[in-house]
Amino acid sequence: MICAKCGKELERGYPVCLNCGQRWEVQEGEEEEKREIKQYNKNKNKINIVVLVIAVVLVLALFMFPMVMTFMGLRQMAETYESLQSISGGM
Ligand SMILES: [Zn+2]
């Protein structure tokens, strides 16, 4: 885009001409672009929440699984120990 006052190339993202200071109207296309970026950011936030939930579930599963396994393993170990004791005759 070119400044209507001085004819210089306008910088994107600035609401005024950097050469002469003339304010210029933001074109509709750029507004649309901004809205699209906002929508994109919203979608990105939604995805982040989903990723966060999945991560929390995974972490919980990772913590719970060894605990359950340890509990079951301890029971099995205790049973094995008892049967070993009965075989050896209580040493
Ligand atoms: Zn200008």
Distance 24 CA to ligand 1 centre (A): 9
Distance 32 CA to ligand 1 centre (A): 24
3-state secondary structure the chain: CECCCCCCECCCCCCECCCCCCECCCCHHHHHHHHHHHHHHHHHHHHHHHHHHHHHHHHHHHHHHHHHHHHHHHHHHHHHHHHHHHHHCCC
Q: 53 or 87, which is more confident?
A: 53
Residue 27 has pLDDT above 60, yes or no: no
Name the pTM for this structure: 0.36
Residue 21 has pLDDT above 60, yes or no: yes
Total residues belonging to the chain: 91
Distance 27 CA to ligand 1 centre (A): 16
Residue 29's pLDDT is 60
Distance 34 CA to ligand 1 centre (A): 23
